[in-house]
Amino acid sequence: MNDPTKTPAAISLPPLAHAAAESMSAQALANLGEGQIAYVRAIRSDDLSRLFPQAPALQPGLDLFALLGADGTPILVTDSRNAAIANAWENDLTPVSVH
């Protein structure tokens, strides 16, 4: 069972795996971890409409966190990193930070 108090996993690939990942197609990389991994990404409210076109306009300059599927599909946006992580765990997804 996933623990919502855990922080996102850090992914570190060994050199051979890193080389294999570099040679994968964009589509193959997008499908990697589908249904298992979600990315937590810090965003600004200024960028919200690009990731979440249906979201209402927000005050510019707000710090937000987006939860994205392994293929980049937007799942949710929140003002709390912990809320994004908890939502990933609640949906049986392993959260991974994107810097």
- In tens digits, the chain (99 residues) has pLDDT values of 455 455 555 454 555 444 555 665 656 655 555 667 899 999 999 999 888 888 888 999 999 999 999 888 899 999 999 999 999 999 999 998 876
Residue type, 93: L
pTM of the model: 0.66
Answer yes or no: is 47 within a domain. Answer: yes
Residue 2, in any domain of the structure: no
**How many other CB atoms sit within 10 Å of the CB of residue 89?**
17
Position of tokens 């795996």? 17
Answer whether residue 64 is part of any domain.
Answer: yes
Structural domain tally of the chain?
1
Domain holding 56, by residue range, is: 34-98
In a domain, 89, yes or no: yes
- What is the DSSP annotation of the chain? ---TTSPPBPP---HHHHHHHHTS-HHHHHHTTTTTEEEEEEEEGGGHHHH-TTSPP--TT-EEEEEEETTS-EEEEES-HHHHHHHHHHTT-EEEEE-
Residue 1 belongs to a domain: no
- 86: in domain: yes
* Residue 19 within any structural domain of the chain: no
> Do the domain assignments include residue 50?
yes
